[in-house]
Structure 1
Amino acid sequence: MMNGDDPRDDPRRRRVPPQAGRPGGPPLPPGRGNGPRQDRPLPSGNDPTVRRGNPPGGRMPPPGDGPTVRYNPAPRREPPASHIEPTQVLHRDGRGEPLAYSQMPPEQPRRHAPPQRPVPHREPVRHAPTQRPVPHHDAIPPRRTPPPPDAGRQARPPRRPRRRHPFRWLMLIVVALIVGLIAAVIHLDNSLTRIPALTSYSDRIGNTPGTNWLLVGSDGRGDLSTEQEQELATGGDTGPERTDTIMLVHIPSSGPTTMVSLPRDSYVSIPGHGKDKLNASFALGGAPLLVQTVEIATGLRIDHYAQIGFGGFAGVVDALGGIEMCLDEPIVDPLAGLDLPAGCQELSGPEALGFVRTRATPRADVDRMNHQRLFMSALLKKATSMGTLANPFALWPMATGVAGSLKVDDGDHIWNLAALGWAMRGDTVTTSVPIGGFDDTDVGNVLLWDKSKAPGFFEALANDQQIPENLLTR
């Protein structure tokens, strides 16, 4: 600086007097505070004495250092226009001398909107609806919730309940029984031995009402061992097979069944062989000649034929567990291996065979025929009883024993035999051909039929009628 120059003339050295309200300055005049002054306009935005923003380094320059410069931060948008920051320089008319800090207009207190409190919404008052009586119901007890599964176990999805079908199981059982029954019937039917017993011949009698069976018990021993012959007391081989029992069974369309014994010594005409004993026809021509001889002698057409031997007869009796018989007199016959006391007793297979074969009685063949009819009735009654039919352990051995020991005609089946047994399960009329006496002939002693009664006897059967009481032989 040059001599003679007044430092006060240098604008850079001009000092600004202390402002009111600052240290070293005069006190604020009364009525003036920090609020903005209302009588002075705010400085414009292009005032050179006002620097916008914060000073460098964030510090204000000390007073007396250079021109009076006030830093004012950049104007904010939030405060209203009437608000004046204390760092702003105010001019009286916007262009004149800046205002001192003590001359700044007082700052107006901020007015905030009163705090708002939520007002609850209230519905307009309405009248209560008309109450109606509600019926009382007992409270439903809460369902019990099953306990949760164990934490260590993984919960399984619920299984779908299975639908039970009892009707389906019942149908399966019924079908299984039917199939089993059909299989058993087929097996038994195949077990039968079939022979051509019913053959056609000239002048054969036509069909007669009802159903006629010819039952034959032969003395054949071909299927017996030596031990069985000794046990059954058959007497060994006696030549050609003969018949010990011949029975005619007539099953009417209605009424009781009639069982007729045909004595084996009956003196009859045998086709192609003249007159001879009835059992001789079997020995001469087998079952076909026997059937033809019976049809000619009786005038009845035979529909079915069944033949059984010694071993089969005893086996059927044993399969049924024995047959109970009641004897009026004791029977002792060493040839038949028989020693039976009087009274009711159960006969085994060998004893039953000896009982139907013995002649060691006062009337010989007549008593023999009566024994055969009585035993046959008792046998069929037990075979068709509910105790046997409902017990498979008794029914099956009996059925297999009968099927395995019988010989039937080619056209007969196991169900035909079942029908025969069912027809004879109830009351059966048992009788014999009316006997006229005995006579000695060139073929030996023979039995003669009563010529006055025999025609009417067989005529009643041929007409499917009951035999008159006066023609029955008890």
Structure 2
Amino acid sequence: MTPPERPARADDDAYVVDTRNRPSGQRGGRPKPDADDAYVVDTRHRPPARRGGVPAADPDAEPARRPRRRRGRLVALLVGLLVLAWLAFMVWVPYNAWNDIARVDATPSGDRPTGGKGTNFLLVGSDSRQGLTEAQKKEFGATNAAGARTDSIILVHVSDSGNKPLVISLPRDSYVPIPGYRKNKINAAYALGGPKLLTATVENATGLTIDGYLEIGFGGFASVVDSLDGVDICVPFNMKDPEAGINLKKGCQTLDGHNALGFVRTRHTDPRGDLGRADRQRQFLAAVMKKAVSPGTVLVPWRYKGFADSMSRGLILGRDTTMGEALAIFQAMRSVSNGDGISATVPIADPNYTTYAGSSVKWDSAKASELFRMIKDDESLTSVPKGAGN
């Protein structure tokens, strides 16, 4: 049996097989010309065959999608790994810094105040020269002081009831009883017995239990500020103080570590003396926390790590103070910087009270006692009452 001849190809490489009269199962496979059950097979776009019978790629076909999908998955995987690495870095940096912070026993012994709601912390700025080189001592005007004293004493209250956090300055010259000693300026407690006696003195004067202790040293102020590339401070008036090593002009500006340290230390150029300095210290701490949590710090790896490392070198924590409590202190300062907290000084009756220890600060006993009672009961405050001397 001879197979039917293939029709000749046309110039456009197409050919047509006409089987219009080819009935099913007819011998010889020859079509009958008069049948009406016809079909046509058009192969004009059939791709040319390659050697071995494998068809060549059709230039008009859609490109393969599998490689594109693989690239997309690879990109997504790389992005996911980068995000995980960044999150791990964000957690590791403060954790590593936390383990490097020095500890001190700041928990008083003996009878302590009981009861109270919320959490109270003592935030102390020490003028200790420990860790400073001789060149730094000269630069910061810190060459003549012996021992360690407190330049700032701040009571921080964090509410359990959702009230605004309170940041209350206790002026370093406050004239209060010191357990085991007679009355004296409150910063004498630190010189006589360190953080433990200072905490006991604050508890005795306020009736509040101090739950955590955080101290930043003299040199720590400068290094923390420099790690942030300066902090933004509005200087209230011209400040020239050779002892503090500053010559600042009135106005808002970015202060480096040296000038920021002088800004919080000086009181000779402030007409309000120690009270004015207490206000500037709270202003400074709020500015530091605002800069520390800004995108310009958190999203820049070397600045973020530099800040954490400088904080760990400059901080001293109470032995029983937890990481959560330290974060609560920083969060309270941040709230103050955002206007969501209350910042004030304990009510004062006389800022120049004459005592055997020299000019001191006398609290307004009635208003101070009422303030500390409200703090102990965790009552909501919109402001702190001022005494006649504030």
The question of a shared fold, defined as TM-score above 0.5 by the shorter chain, is answered with yes
Q: CA deviation at 1:443?
A: 2.3
| Residue aligning to 2:345 | 432
| Residue aligning to 2:99 | 190
Q: CA deviation at 1:146?
A: 10
| Residue aligning to 1:269 | 177
| Counterpart pick for 1:177 among 86, 95, 104 | 86
Q: CA deviation at 1:328?
A: 3.2
Q: 3-state DSSP class of the match of 2:362? A: strand
Q: Write the distance in 1 (CA, Å) between the matches of 2:43 and 2:134.
A: 88
Q: 3-state DSSP class of the match of 2:365? A: coil
Q: CA deviation at 1:295?
A: 1.1
Q: Where does 1:359-378 land on structure 2 (aligned, <5 Å)? A: 359-360=267-268, 361-378=270-287
Q: Write the distance in 1 (CA, Å) between the matches of 2:360 and 2:274.
A: 11
Deviation string 1:138-180 (CA, Å, 9 cap, x unpaired) is: x99958679889xxxxxxxxxx979564555454344433433
Q: CA deviation at 1:470?
A: 6.3
Cα distance change, pair 212–147 in 1 and its aligned pair in 2 (3 A) = farther
**Residues 331, 340 of structure 1: 8 Å contact kept:** yes
Cα distance change, pair 413–403 in 1 and its aligned pair in 2 (3 A) = farther
Cα distance change, pair 434–173 in 1 and its aligned pair in 2 (3 A) = same
Q: CA deviation at 1:408?
A: 0.4
Equivalent residue letter for 1:363: R
Identify unmatched segments of 5+ residues in structure 2. 1-26, 53-65
Matched, 1:398 2:307: yes
| Counterpart pick for 1:338 among 216, 239, 246 | 246
Matched, 1:422 2:331: yes
Equivalent residue letter for 1:244: D
Equivalent residue letter for 2:359: N
**Residues 384, 422 of structure 1: 8 Å contact kept:** no
RMSD: 3.2
Q: 3-state DSSP class of the match of 1:270? A: coil
Matched, 1:458 2:390: no
Q: Write the distance in 2 (CA, Å) between the matches of 1:458 and 1:382.
A: 31
Identity of aligned pairs, percent?
38
Matched, 1:449 2:363: yes
Q: CA deviation at 1:472?
A: 4.5
**TM-score scaled to structure 1, two decimals?**
0.64
Q: CA deviation at 1:124?
A: 10
| Residue aligning to 1:99 | none
Equivalent residue letter for 1:391: V
Q: CA deviation at 1:376?
A: 1.6
How many residue pairs end up in the alignment? Answer: 337
| Counterpart pick for 2:154 among 219, 236, 247 | 247
Q: Where does 1:229-248 land on structure 2 (aligned, <5 Å)? A: 229-234=137-142, 236-248=143-155
**Residues 338, 351 of structure 1: 8 Å contact kept:** yes
**Residues 189, 413 of structure 1: 8 Å contact kept:** no
Cα distance change, pair 457–174 in 1 and its aligned pair in 2 (3 A) = same
Q: Write the distance in 1 (CA, Å) between the matches of 2:260 and 2:29.
A: 114
Equivalent residue letter for 1:432: T
Cα distance change, pair 401–141 in 1 and its aligned pair in 2 (3 A) = farther
**Residues 174, 360 of structure 2: 8 Å contact kept:** yes
**TM-score scaled to structure 2, two decimals?**
0.77
**Residues 457, 467 of structure 1: 8 Å contact kept:** no
Deviation string 1:78-98 (CA, Å, 9 cap, x unpaired) is: xxxxxxxxxxxxxxxxxxxxx
